[in-house]
Structure 1
């Protein structure tokens, strides 16, 4: 029997942004008030071109002009987000807005209302009709800086955080974000604690952002019902409260106004967020920037 010599395997390509670190072996600390679990709500407010570019669709395969899906997306900013704002106020829950900067021209009243309510405004690109994957470095740098400057002009300060549209990056996105002055990003979903990412000129904080407790991935992507999604939020909170006895953790919930802002889905969200609000003595409910700032102070930078 003749055996052929197999080639030696090449080393697996690695990103180099962070090292492996078991959550059980990290320094201990607590969130403000001695709390062990920090919670933040991330509300995506997005603006799309009409019938151009990429889009989140409710119903696939509709021919152009796709009035059904375009108007469904518009419902989020015209109705859903306003109902959600009322709910957040009713439950006294802080929120982190992840906004497309094009919203300042499309519906400035909406951002102003959340601003008045004390929401953090974080960057979510220019529009979700595009993503930066495939951009050359100069084009991506221009996008990142233009979004920063647009938010700063309206809010008085530049955004601390960034979430890439469609979680799409290039090989240099964290480098460019750090160089543009962003303090944290949410694209990397590998942990239940903030994690420092290496960049070519320093480091930037990765904040936990959920791809499971996320109405887009769950309800649109996996066709999970609103009742089950609400149960997921409650179960995530209860289990993470238990796990946080051993290590301080961050729980986040990702929402999209055109999805969870539909009344029949919001009925179940109301139950889930009401439960979180009732448990605030057992956790720290804050904005993403507040959690990032506290973590940086605890980690010595």
Structure 2
């Protein structure tokens, strides 16, 4: 009998069996907004669909996604400013060329820049090692040159990884990634050089693409999901530190009928609370890496190879 396939990146450890620690100032729930700024190839490649396309060039769906960068993202920027919410800007490197001034407007707020490949028309899992390594290097170079800072984190386009992605990211100097939605706490993933890269929780339930595009929930239902998740995780965090991410795409939640209820939900989250840390994914990663004894550190010692 063949041995079952295993990823070998992290061991199993139940949440109740892990050491308890705090976020800054004794807080227990860390909340961040992951704003995806993406571009797509015209007439080819991958992309979320508002409606089934009518062949190539798929003007309907391409234009819908492009609306997000031209209009929706700016409405979200106004919302984040009004609520005083920081964001982790998860950006394709080609956004700088295709949408001049867009990423820069968020970076001017002091928002974090997270690598997200070159474009969302391609997947890392489809590439050979050398080609994937080149993709990471090219995207990183553009983000550094145009964004003025080196990103610490990475989210693969379409949450797509090859078997070597965590290794290649660590070797390229990244300290954390967002691809794995397997936990509510950061987890160390083993890398092939004997080191590790931190996995920061990124939501697939509280993510407007799976929720609205795939499951077709309404804007109000998605906003209700944000509020319910926040209230529940705030209670759960009394016994263990947790991370709550909110994944947004301007072409989905930037439209008026979804933005209005989302704004109310984000206002609920942004209401000052002594036990909630409104932050970025990168700040979460930095905090965990600085702790001497956390579930993540414990996992680093016992990783499956």
2:157 matched residue in structure 1: 165
SS of structure 1 residue aligned to 2:179: coil
SS of structure 2 residue aligned to 1:42: strand
1:216 matched residue in structure 2: 209
TM-score normalised by the chain length of structure 2: 0.94
In structure 2, distance between residues paired with 1:21 and 1:218: 28
Q: 1:207 aligns with which of 200, 204, 226?
A: 200
Q: Is the 8 A contact 2:44 2:56 kept in 1?
A: no
Q: Deviations over 1:238-266 (max 9, x none)?
A: 11111111100000000001000001100
In structure 1, distance between residues paired with 2:87 and 2:211: 20
In structure 1, distance between residues paired with 2:247 and 2:272: 19
In structure 1, distance between residues paired with 2:222 and 2:159: 21
In structure 2, distance between residues paired with 1:245 and 1:10: 43
In structure 1, distance between residues paired with 2:147 and 2:40: 22
Q: 1:262 aligns with which of 234, 255, 258?
A: 255
Consecutive unaligned residues of structure 1, counting only runs of 5 or more, are 1-8
In structure 2, distance between residues paired with 1:65 and 1:148: 29
Q: Cα offset for 1:218?
A: 0.1
Q: What root-mean-square deviation, in Å, do the aligned CA atoms of Structure 1 and Structure 2 show?
A: 1.1
In structure 2, distance between residues paired with 1:299 and 1:18: 19
2:58 matched residue in structure 1: 66
CA shift in 2, pair 1:198/1:212, >3 Å:
same
1:106 matched residue in structure 2: 98
In structure 1, distance between residues paired with 2:53 and 2:252: 19
Q: 1:86 aligns with which of 60, 78, 89?
A: 78
Aligned length: 293
1:22 matched residue in structure 2: 14
Which one has a bigger Cα radius of gyration?
Answer: 1
Consecutive unaligned residues of structure 2, counting only runs of 5 or more, are 298-305
CA shift in 2, pair 1:107/1:23, >3 Å:
same
Q: Deviations over 1:29-70 (max 9, x none)?
A: 100110000000000000011111111111013222222111
2:233 matched residue in structure 1: 240
Q: 2:242 aligns with which of 229, 244, 249?
A: 249
In structure 1, distance between residues paired with 2:6 and 2:41: 36
Q: Cα offset for 1:133?
A: 1.0
In structure 1, distance between residues paired with 2:292 and 2:203: 23
For 1:43-192, what aligned pairs fall within 5 Å after superposition? 43-192=35-184
In structure 1, distance between residues paired with 2:143 and 2:283: 18
**Larger deviation, residues 64-73 vs 24-33:** 64-73
In structure 2, distance between residues paired with 1:195 and 1:65: 42
In structure 2, distance between residues paired with 1:135 and 1:33: 43
2:224 matched residue in structure 1: 231
1:293 matched residue in structure 2: 286
